[in-house]
Each structure stands twice: as C-alpha cells, then as structure tokens.
C-alpha cells in the first residue's frame, strides 16, 4: 500500500469543496516576508554518510571534565535498574492509558509515582505529571488563580530565573499580573526572601505567593513564615522544592504549603540539555478539581479486584476543551516512571544519603575556596547543596576555566546584575574531593 495519504485528485476535490484554487492560496493571509523560501538543503545522503556527519557534529561537543553547574538540574548517580525498567517495551511504547482494561501496568506505575510524590512532599494528592519544574510552577500559579478567583501572583526573586520567565509567559495570556518579592542580596546578607517585605506586597488581590526551597542561591528560605504571610491575606502558598532535599528538610505539607511543585530530574534522570525532564506537582485534596494534568486513582472492579483508572478526567482538555483546568494534554509517563524506579531503588535511606553527601560536598567546596583565600560565601545562613561564592572577576575566570574543561558553576550576574563577581556552585554525591581540588587549582591559575 502507498503511504501517500492524498492523491492529486483527492487534493483537487478538497480544494474545490472549500472554493480555493490552489494549496498556496490557503496561505494567502501569511505575509510573503515571513514565509519560508529558498530551502538550501544538502543533497540526500546514504545512512553511513549521515552517521559520519552526525558523529562529526557530536565530536564538536565539549564535555566538561569537572562540573559544578546546577541551576535546577543536578548530576546524581542513577542506579542501572532505572534504565532497565524504563527501557522495557511495555512501558516505553505505551501511550496515554485511556483504556484501563488494557493499561493496568502503566496505570499502576503512575499511581505508585503519585504515592511516592505525596510521601516525599507530605501532601494529599499528586498529579502525574508535568513537562518540567518550570511549567509545573506556572501551572500552580494559574491553579491558585482559579481557586482564589484572584488575578495577581507574587513570586520570590529567589525562584530560578528560568522558572520566573516561564511563569511570566504563562501569565501573559490570561492576563495574570506577576509581582516580584525581593531577596536580601546585601553582602553577607541572608540571600532569602524576607517575610515582612513579602507581606508588604501581599493583599486580598493576590492569588498566591511562590517561593523556592532551597532558593536559586541555595539558601534555605523561612518557608513557614512566608506561608503565614500568604495565608494572612487569603492567598495560597506555593512551594517550589528540590526533591532530594526533602530527605533532610521539612516536608512542604508540614509548613503549610497549599501547592508543591518541583523539577523531578534529580530523581534518576540524567542531566541533558533540553530534557526530557519531569515536573512534579502536589496539592491538597480539597483543590483537586482545579489541579492540572493526569491523575490516576485506585478502585475495585465489578469482581472486587484492585484496579487503576484515570480519574477526575472532567478537568482535562480531552473532555472540557477550552474550559479545562489546563491545556496540558500529555504527561511525562516515562520520566515519571524513571523517578518511581529511582525512588524505589534508593529508598528513604538512600535518598537521605544522597542529600547528606551533596550538602557535605557543597560545604567542602565553600571551605576549600575560602581556605585557599580565593573567595568567600556571598551570603550567611544555612544552605543546601548549591552555594554562592564571591570570586573577583568571576565572569572572565569562569570562561577561562571552561577552556580547560572545568565548569565553575554559573555566573550569577548573567541573571542578577546586582550580584557581580559571584559563582553559584553545585555539588552532589558524585562530586569528588579531586573535583574540588581541581576547581581550587583552576581558580588559582586564573587569578
């Protein structure tokens, strides 16, 4: 059979039916100057030629020998069992499980994912799942607007700048105003969101306050106080968390978070430019009908056997069209499965060890740099596994170190011009003492 869906007579019949002379006429509304033209494509290649070309391009990538880059994505050990589970054809080829009678395996895995996220966050219900942490956070803001029927959201400047950009984009369509709550950036200051400054910006027109734990600068925020400030004006409190940190820090459900979002990448997904990652979202059961995304529930069939189904689908766009809670129309099932396999493999103790080792190595980084007189912590107070270090001439030295294969974290002034000469350095359990020694040597060499 042919794989060309329409023949010339088919096209002629369709054009005649809608009264258009040619296919080109369908694009008459698009100005000439923005139309693609003059495709300059190379000649067709044989498979081995394509392989050679792609290998040549791939070899142009420079993989760092040592990296302290975090910025919301973290390099952790991924147990081999994760790839084994995710690579199984039953999972890797399965589409959205609309038909429970043929999708019990996929549905059960999603249900287990939701259960693990609830346990981790201390919340009552988790959806499965979102594209990434940034879009999950933006969805949480819109969810808060629906729940409170308010149209303004307040966001801490301590939230990852990429997340704030995605939030601004998501809010621009429905006309939701975004106000930014400042962070104490003073030299030696806390590097956190001041609850009193937050309270000044909050009123009964604000749907939610969004804050990150740990903050973009790695610092630990006063989440309970920020939550109280939000609740005092009837706003919701959205906590954006780093999932491995929850093995050590208070669960958001315990400090009054109404919605919790996170980037799930640290849970068994390798760092990869552009993803795929997975967004986590958890909330209270009372707000479940305004929660976006897939939701799997457990139930009993007519014979009393345990089974799983997509539930509360009336929130979703395949039922409610433009009135759906969100236009998210897929989930990151395979990445959610990776997170499920990871959490199951490492267990509560393993996750705690990951978080502890990451914090220990971050302190090792700070102490080594300070001990060598090459820089000092930019902020005071507790931090998790990413640390802001003041280093003279940071941008130039960062570039020079990258030339020698060492990525010295992130140059903060690229996002926050007020924070000059500051490197944001991340550590995980994979950061070795030798990595730290090489970083110190590189800082010394570029002084």
Partner 1 sequence: MSHPANLRYSKEHEWVRVDGSTATIGITSFAADELGDIVFVELPEVGSSLSQFGSFGVVESVKAVSDLYAPVSGEVTEVNGALAEQPELLNSDAYGEGWIVRVALTDTAELDALMDADAYAELTA
**Rounded least distance, CB 287 to partner 1, Å:** 13
Pick the closer one to partner 1 by CB: 56 or 321: 321
Give residues with Cβ within 8 angstroms of 107, minimum separation 6: 97, 100, 296, 308, 309, 310
Residue 288 beta carbon to partner 1: minimum distance, rounded to whole angstroms: 11
Q: Applying CB under 8 A, which part among 23-31, 212-220, 316-324, 338-346 lies near partner 1?
A: 316-324
Instruction: State which of residues 81, 319, 329, 399 lies at the interface with partner 1 (CB under 8 A).
Output: 319
Residue 83 vs 329, nearer CB to partner 1: 329
Q: Hey, which residues does 211 pair with through a beta bridge?
A: 239
Q: Alpha-carbon distance 292 to 326, whole Å?
A: 5
Among 42, 101, 323, 349, binds partner 1 (CB under 8 A): 323
Six token digits for residue 299: 């139930």
Q: How far is the CB of 306 from partner 1 (least distance, A)?
A: 21
Q: By CB under 8 A, name the one of 314, 329, 360, 445 that touches partner 1.
A: 314
* Residue nearer to partner 1 on the CB measure, 315 or 397: 315
Name which of 33 and 323 has its Cβ closer to partner 1. Answer: 323
Write the binding mask 111 to 150 for partner 1: x where contact by CB under 8 A, - elsewhere.
Answer: --------------------------------------x-
| Per-residue buried b or exposed e for 82-94, using 16+ beta carbons within 10 Å of the residue's own CB | beebbeeeebeeb
Sequence-ordered alpha helix ranges (H) in 8-122? 8-18, 47-59, 80-86, 89-92, 104-121
Give whichever of 132 and 316 is closer to partner 1, judged by the CB atom: 316
From the list 67-75, 128-136, 204-212, 318-326, the region that binds partner 1 by CB under 8 A is 318-326
Q: With respect to partner 1, which residue has the nearer C-beta, 325 or 394?
A: 325
Maximum alpha-carbon separation in the chain: 79
For residue 195, give every residue at least 6 positions away whose Cβ sits within 8 Å of its Cβ, in sequence order, or none: 222, 225, 226, 228, 229
Nearer to partner 1, 56 or 149 (CB): 149
What number of chain residues touch partner 1 (CB under 8 A)? Answer: 6
Pair 186, 197: CB distance under 8 Å? no
Q: How far apart are CA 369 and CA 409, in angstroms?
A: 13
Residues of this chain, 242-301, that bind partner 1 according to CB under 8 A: 289
For CA atoms 237, 163, 173, 203, the dihedral sign is: positive
- Four-point Cα dihedral 142, 144, 147, 148, nearest 10: -110
Tokens in use for 42?
């190379």
| Per-residue interface string for the shown chain with partner 1, residues 148-167, x marking contact by CB under 8 A | -x------------------
Among candidate residues 2, 436, 83, the one with its CA nearest the CA of residue 270:
83
Selected from 62, 88, 318, 320, the binder of partner 1 by CB under 8 A is 320
Nearer to partner 1 among residue 52 and residue 319 (C-beta): 319
Q: Report, in Å, the least distance between residue 294 CB and partner 1.
A: 17
Residues engaged in binding partner 1 (CB under 8 A):
149, 289, 314, 319-320, 323
């Amino acid at each position: 059979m042919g794989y060309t869906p329409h023949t010339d007579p088919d096209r002629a019949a369709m054009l005649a039916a809608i009264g258009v002379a040619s296919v080109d006429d369908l694009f008459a509304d698009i100005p000439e100057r923005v139309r693609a033209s003059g495709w300059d494509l190379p000649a067709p290649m044989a498979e081995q030629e394509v392989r050679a070309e792609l290998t040549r391009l791939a070899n142009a990538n420079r993989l760092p020998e040592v990296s302290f880059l975090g910025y919301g994505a973290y390099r952790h050990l991924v147990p081999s069992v994760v790839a084994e589970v995710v690579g199984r054809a039953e999972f890797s080829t399965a589409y959205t499980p609309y038909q429970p009678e043929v999708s019990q395996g996929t549905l059960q895995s999603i249900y287990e994912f939701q259960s693990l996220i609830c346990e981790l966050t201390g919340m009552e219900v988790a959806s499965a799942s979102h594209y990434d942490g940034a879009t999950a956070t933006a969805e949480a803001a819109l969810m808060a607007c629906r729940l409170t029927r308010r149209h303004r959201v307040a966001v801490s400047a301590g939230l990852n700048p990429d997340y704030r950009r995605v939030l601004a984009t998501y809010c621009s369509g429905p006309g939701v105003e975004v106000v930014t709550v400042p962070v104490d950036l003073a030299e030696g200051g806390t590097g956190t969101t001041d609850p009193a400054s937050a309270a000044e910006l909050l009123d009964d027109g604000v749907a939610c306050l969004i804050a990150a734990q740990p903050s973009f600068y790695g610092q630990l925020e006063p989440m309970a106080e920020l939550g109280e400030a939000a609740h005092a004006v009837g706003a919701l409190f959205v906590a954006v968390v780093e999932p491995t940190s929850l093995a050590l820090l208070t669960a958001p459900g315990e400090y009054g978070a109404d919605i919790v979002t996170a980037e799930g990448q640290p849970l068994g997904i390798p760092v990869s430019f552009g993803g795929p990652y997975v967004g986590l979202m958890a909330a209270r059961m009372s707000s479940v009908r305004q929660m976006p995304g897939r939701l799997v529930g457990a139930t009993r069939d007519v014979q009393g056997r345990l089974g799983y189904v997509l539930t509360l689908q009336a929130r979703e766009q395949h039922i409610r069209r433009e009135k759906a809670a969100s236009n998210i129309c897929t989930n990151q099932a395979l990445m959610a499965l990776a997170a499920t396999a990871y959490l199951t493999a490492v267990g509560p103790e393993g996750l705690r060890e990951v978080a502890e080792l990451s914090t220990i190595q971050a302190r090792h980084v700070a102490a080594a740099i300070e001990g060598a007189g090459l820089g000092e912590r930019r902020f005071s107070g507790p931090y998790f596994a990413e640390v802001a270090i003041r280093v003279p001439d940071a941008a130039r030295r960062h570039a020079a170190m990258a030339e020698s294969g060492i990525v010295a974290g992130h140059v903060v002034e690229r996002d926050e011009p007020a924070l000059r000469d500051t490197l944001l350095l991340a550590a995980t359990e994979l950061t070795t003492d030798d990595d730290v020694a090489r970083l110190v040597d590189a800082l010394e060499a570029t002084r």
